[in-house]
Structure 1
């Protein structure tokens, strides 16, 4: 960040400014990447800040381009927000083949669409969203550069002292959702190899900001005085702005066959220690149940850090910000991560 980190994040306006502040690396990447950029599924948790960062980084790079966000956009306020960012919007259902075919042809695509929660109740929809839809998009954008979001769930649970899964590790998904995530990657890889269009697979684990994420889930439990389940005893997270910046840089590095990068924070943290730190910040007690398992879903993000630079915001800084945000009754979203799930049933 060009400015020192604030001691406290004042409100959502300042938060969204921070989440969309591009790194020098993101700006340089968009000097290399030519042409318009479309973000598919941009109405979710990360989409608005990533689209805005693409806009800001493009402007800082002196590159004239359209930035287009696509989603159902049931929230009119979100449409107004994108317009204020200088981002165009197209509303529609990406599961509609005719709608996908009607989208503008652009040279750069960031694919953000996916389904995770509710897999156990409607598995067919999850397979459609995560496997069939990528094939539609790949046929539509067979000549475009694509960065597609994936997830750390494609990896198995690994020993907590392993350092986390690396990009070359075999994929051994746990549960039906994770299997569809591998299916999504396989579709992008198949069409990348078939059409020879450069592609990146971004394995994210886990993005966090003040309104949602693993750290927010844990902080809210501590603040409410709930016992903390330690069965998933370790995890890693990354400040959403850093995940956004790494994604933009990874778009520039797209290749054939696909370039694969883990996007994760450098610290593997103990759930117990994180909650004890929150108890200290909230000045209250915390209790625990269960024992930490000796395996967890962990991504090793060192390849991305070496290539794009270490994340700008540390784990402790995130905890300080989140605790302060919650003590001031800052807005949070009802979008729990369910990171504690070990059987893959979401």
Structure 2
């Protein structure tokens, strides 16, 4: 289905959970159940559903277990309607964590970004302490853990983005805590020999949430676009989902690092002007452009699986169509334009 033809949330979630060939191949290659920890957020539900669909296409029967506080009960109901098991509780509660079923495969998605500056102790507990608890609880599992390209710090757009071998230069406590998360997982991958892969993601987008949705909403409303973060990477969330599942096959000790991002470095001004064309709206800008930005180079992932299925212009067209129709949005700005690391 062309993204611009999607009219309902049901169609959108079906598209976001349609597995690419690499996801199906991964579900055939690995054995055992998969637990998704912190699965109630923006990306988790369709990722868990994709694992279910990809396993079925691979001819493999396994339990898919989604774990979250599920502050929105409708998310839990939706997952269960797709055949995904759910467990509800606080992962920082070690009694609850210990009660979870053993799973040979774990995808760690829990973390704290928005509001991080408002409660820094909780941010560090979620982003650094919890990974150590999870790594010890699932010492015998294969773990794929989400991180962020924010750990790199900004680089010139002329470089093509940070690569996995670059030294981290995190700015602000959020990014520092995310590097702390990586260090905890790396430590336990070393001492326990737990196979792990750490996924530095910049930035997953769908129609209800993401950098491009933020920009489209501002263009539609006639709000001036802040050019403080002048360049960006994006990837269709369905492609990020497929690559996450495929990455389970790459887990190793010492832990492997892998960037997940779109292949292009996008200029925010150009993106907004294209959205203005699609939405039939004039575009206004504020602030000065900067040469450096938070940018990931995903050449290593592209070498493994080829380019993402959804090109940027198709994604822009689909988002503009959705926004013009008044489609549902999550109302959670990404704040990608923040340069001082204070989220």
TM-score w.r.t. the length of structure 1 is: 0.98
| 2:36 pairs with 1:5 | no
Cα deviation, residue 20, structure 1:
0.2
What does residue 71 of structure 1 align with?
A: 68
Cα deviation, residue 6, structure 1:
4.6
| 2:37 pairs with 1:40 | yes
What is the alpha-carbon distance in structure 1 between the residues aligned to residue 222 and residue 293 of structure 2? 25
| 2:141 pairs with 1:137 | no
3-state secondary structure, aligned to 1:54: helix
What is the alpha-carbon distance in structure 2 between the residues aligned to residue 71 and residue 10 of structure 1? 28
Unaligned runs of at least 5 residues, structure 1? none
What is the alpha-carbon distance in structure 1 between the residues aligned to residue 75 and residue 114 of structure 2? 22
TM-score w.r.t. the length of structure 2 is: 0.99
Cα deviation, residue 7, structure 1:
3.8
| 2:268 pairs with 1:271 | yes
| 2:144 pairs with 1:157 | no
What is the alpha-carbon distance in structure 2 between the residues aligned to residue 132 and residue 216 of structure 1? 32
Match of 1:119 among 97, 116, 119: 116
Query: Per-residue displacement from partner, 1:65-100 (whole Å, max 9, x unpaired)?
Result: 100000011222212111111100000001111111
Q: CA RMSD in A?
A: 0.8
| 2:186 pairs with 1:189 | yes
Match of 2:175 among 175, 178, 181: 178
3-state secondary structure, aligned to 1:150: strand
Q: Which moved more, 1:126-135 or 1:300-309?
A: 300-309
Unaligned runs of at least 5 residues, structure 2? none
Cα deviation, residue 295, structure 1:
0.5
State whether residues 4 and 319 of structure 2, in contact with CA within 8 Å, keep that contact through their aligned partners in structure 1: no
What does residue 201 of structure 1 align with?
A: 198
Matched positions, count: 343
Query: Per-residue displacement from partner, 1:169-225 (whole Å, max 9, x unpaired)?
Result: 001101100000000000000001111111000100000000000000000001000
What does residue 167 of structure 1 align with?
A: 164
What is the alpha-carbon distance in structure 2 between the residues aligned to residue 146 and residue 250 of structure 1? 10
Match of 1:307 among 297, 304, 308: 304
Match of 2:241 among 244, 254, 275: 244
3-state secondary structure, aligned to 2:177: helix
What does residue 337 of structure 1 align with?
A: 334
State whether residues 189 and 196 of structure 2, in contact with CA within 8 Å, keep that contact through their aligned partners in structure 1: yes
What is the alpha-carbon distance in structure 2 between the residues aligned to residue 302 and residue 42 of structure 1? 27
What is the alpha-carbon distance in structure 2 between the residues aligned to residue 203 and residue 163 of structure 1? 16
What is the alpha-carbon distance in structure 2 between the residues aligned to residue 78 and residue 178 of structure 1? 28
3-state secondary structure, aligned to 2:87: strand
